Amino acid sequence: MDGRGRRPRGHWWLPLAVLILIGAFVLGASIGPAGRITGANWHLIWTVRMPRVVLAALVGAMLSVAGASYQGAFGNPLADPYLLGVAAGSGLGATIVFVVGRASTSGWLIDPLPLASFVGGLVAVFITYLIGSAFGPTRSSLTLVLAGVAITSLASAIQTFVLYRNSEVIREVYSWILGRLSTASWRDVRLVTPYIVASCIVLLLHRRHLDILRVGDEEAASLGMRVGRVRLIVVVAATLGTAAAVSVSGLIGFVGIVVPHAVRMMAGASYRRLLPLTILFGAAFLILTDIPGRVLTHGSETPIGVVTAFFGAPFFIVVLMRRRLGNEASQ
């Protein structure tokens, strides 16, 4: 029989995802306090609304694909930039840059903000992973997530302490923590695009490896894969992109859980399809979830992190319940 005829069903998911993303772009560009696009407000739309839509797309794509990649690299369906402590670590790194003085670094060739959050995020994810695998089997979802919670708390505590000692930057940092897509500019887009594009390319190149990792470290190794090296590359790439995203958008939770799991439910669990689809759907998801924040409350905006948590937390609970039911069914 011809094996080629067996290519998994669902080739139409990719074009569908592209269409949804285009739709989200159009919707995102045409809704906002300044009203529909007209010749008169074009300049406003271009300098205020468009960078915000593009940045939301970049950040949404990055957080989603990072979530899917962490889930694959750690063999843990609950892994997410937020839960692993990456976001909090990146936040701490960024806070330190704010405290040291954002103004004094403006002349630098490379903006230290993404780099500082990268270092913070990387340190956090490695500590989480070390604790998670030291106190239980690596594949235990619970240990890893609990370690992530602990690291998140620790990073937040240090951040609070630092802010307490430097109260003049509190307002700046908090508006940043809650997601500041609202003040997005083309400068932010230029700042993060190289990191996010590089990260996405590296992750996409490893989607076959993530499929192999689904059978566990030992069997992956017996199939000729250098497990430690692949995991390191994937985690570093995902963390680099996440840190860059977090450094301009603040901490936006649950995107890395909601989007990959929704795509899994629709299009299957193979990472070959999952990674490209999470990039597209993640971009569309964040553009769309950013819209209510712009129009719901007049005058002051609802931070996007609040909107994603509002949708994401219930979804996370659904994932947990499905997993428990699934485990019971398989025993």
Partner 1 sequence: MSSLTMSGVSVSYGRREVVHDFTCTVGPGEWVCLIGPNGAGKSSILRAIAGLAKHTGEIGVEGSPLRLRTSRRQAQLIAYVRQSPTLPSDMSAFDYVLLGRNPYVSYFGAETANDRDLVGRVLERLDMATFADRLLGTLSGGEQQRLVIARALAQEAPILLLDEPTSALDIGHQQQALELVDSLRREHGLTVVSAMHDLTLAGLYADRLALLHEGHLVVAGTAAQVLRAETLAEFYGVSVTVHNQDDGTVVVVPRRTASS
CB 133, min distance to partner 1, A: 16
**Alpha carbons 161 and 270: distance in angstroms, whole number:** 43
**Nearer to partner 1 by C-beta: 44 or 204?**
204
When the beta carbons of 101 and 228 are compared against partner 1, the nearer one is: 228
Work out how close the CB of 260 gets to partner 1 at its nearest, in angstroms, rounded to a whole number: 13
106 vs 330, beta carbon nearer partner 1: 330
- At closest approach, how far in Å is the CB of 268 from partner 1? 7
Cβ 30 to partner 1, closest distance in Å? 38
Do 279 and 200 contact (CB within 8 A), yes or no? yes
CB 257 within 8 A of CB 265: no
Residue 3: enclosing H or E segment and its boundaries?
none
Smaller CB distance to partner 1: residue 49 or 264? 264
Distance between CA atoms of residues 184 and 284, nearest Å: 17
Query: CB of residue 272 vs partner 1: minimum separation in angstroms?
Result: 8
Nearer to partner 1, 268 or 292 (CB): 268
Shortest separation between residue 32's beta carbon and partner 1, angstroms: 40
Decide whether 1 or 110 has the Cβ nearer to partner 1: 1
Contacts 24+ apart (CB under 8 A), 306-312: 306/178, 306/179, 308/252, 308/253, 308/254, 308/255, 308/258, 309/253, 309/254, 311/254, 311/258, 312/253, 312/254, 312/255, 312/257, 312/258
Q: How many CB atoms lie within 10 A of CB 187?
A: 10
Residue ranges binding partner 1 (CB under 8 A):
1-4, 6, 8-9, 205, 208, 211-212, 214-216, 218-219, 221-226, 264, 268-270, 326, 330
